[in-house]
Amino acid sequence: MGEREITVIFPEDRVHLFRGAKCLELEMGLALVTISFPEEMVESMGLIAHIMNETRWAGVNVREIFSTYTEIGILVREKESNELYRAMLRLKSQK
């Protein structure tokens, strides 16, 4: 995994920059929802699983997940981004 592939995300008006590149798939109409959390949350067991469960319960299909130390990016179809955002607000209110 990851040795021969790379995911590149860019605005749709930049597609022309990749003309001629070998591309497995080109998807349009996607949205990236980013969730930030404080450093102390990194030690919370099951944090990503909890976020993904809430996403599943909301009926949102995740295209890809990106993570850094204190952020998780969830790539979804644009038409599902509002539902994902509402699901994350519900999760936040459960603190």
Mean pLDDT of 64-90: 93
Q: Residue 56 — φ and ψ, nearest 5°?
A: -65, -45
- Return the pLDDT at 40: 85
Residue 95 CB coordination number (10 Å):
4
Query: Which candidate, 31, 45, 11, places its Cα nearest to that of 84?
Result: 31
First and final C-alpha spacing in the chain? 35
* Alpha-carbon gap, residue 72 to 49, rounded angstroms: 12
Mean pLDDT of 22-47: 86
Own/partner pairs, 36-39, CB within 8 angstroms, 24+ separation: 36/70, 36/71, 37/70, 37/71, 37/72, 38/70, 39/69, 39/70
- Return the pLDDT at 17: 86
Is pLDDT above 80 for 2?
no
- Return the pLDDT at 15: 84
Contact 39, 70 (CB under 8 A): yes
